[in-house]
Homo-oligomer: A and B are copies of this chain.
């Protein structure tokens, strides 16, 4: 029996690492093309931000795979407008993104950035600093219970923190989002790993900052928009929370922005700023190829394609 050939198209020119790792594991029965213009017979389109117009030109299209965890809202809306096309993502970047959250938590709690800068400049005088926060025994509230949020929660437990997880619907050990306000006052650190949806936009705003502890450290590795930009800047610059570590922002180069926010976060001393580098680790491309191979293998075997995104719920 001859296997059906699946045509997958990748909307970028993969680098050498990705290509090597892909070729190593590409399942039989999958044919791959790459580049800016999808092959007209494409069934599985692997692309970060494909346009609706582009997808409408592909009569055989049955699945769109966003090759990372955080699916853009425009892509969800575009796929929603198509008949018989499912949307998928990849979770290969979950450990790296969770690690960025933990890295930012430690750097903020231990004040590593001002401490390093002052030690370099003034030597031992730098020792006269306010004490750091001990994380052992403290409480982490983790918003988002997907691959990244769960991994963050595991790491927090692994370093001796207790964890309250909060997800949209609750369950699997997580509180439902409608009980968020019960969890917030307990948070020594509030860690966000949420997608940007209509429900999550501005989830943490003026009211939420009022009920957080003044020592609370906010970490965001999900999407900037889940924390109200103005309220966050105000809470930090007025010292109403202990600090923040931010890897996700409000204005991106694709919007023509040089700066990540309309507020000058770069002038604040109690913030660790990171230019959306959560997934940017040495193994990223080989992990991505490996995750894509697993997905394509499932498709080639005729089973359901994994990691389907709920386009109605929006994530």
Contact = CB atoms under 8 A, between A and B. Distances in A.
Interface of A: 95-96, 99-100, 102-104, 106-107, 109-110, 112-113, 115-116, 118-121, 123-127, 129, 131-137, 154-155, 157-160, 252-253, 257-260, 266, 272-277, 280-284
A276 B124 CA distance: 9
Interface centre among A102, A119, A127 (most CB of B within 10 A): A119
B159 A126 contact: no
A106 B115 contact: no
Contacts of A115: 273-275, 277
B124 A252 contact: yes
B258 A119 contact: no
Copies of this protein in the complex:
2
Q: Which 9 A-B pairs have the closest CB atoms?
A: A158-B158, A103-B106, A120-B266, A95-B136, A134-B281, A123-B258, A103-B110, A127-B275, A126-B275
Nearest to A134: B281
A308 to B, nearest CB: 25
A244 to B, nearest CB: 12
A107 B96 contact: no
A255 B259 CA distance: 45
B119 A275 contact: yes
A253 B135 contact: no
Contacts of A121: 266
B158 A159 contact: yes
A136 B99 contact: yes
Nearest to A122: B258
22 contacts: A95-B134, A95-B136, A99-B110, A99-B135, A100-B110, A102-B159, A103-B107, A103-B112, A106-B106, A107-B107, A110-B274, A116-B274, A119-B266, A119-B274, A119-B275, A123-B260, A124-B260, A129-B280, A131-B282, A132-B277, A134-B282, A155-B158
A134 B275 contact: no
Contact of A116 (B99, B259, B273): B273
B112 A112 contact: yes
A134 B99 contact: yes
Contacts of A125: 258
Contacts of A133: 281-282
A277 B158 contact: no
A309 to B, nearest CB: 24
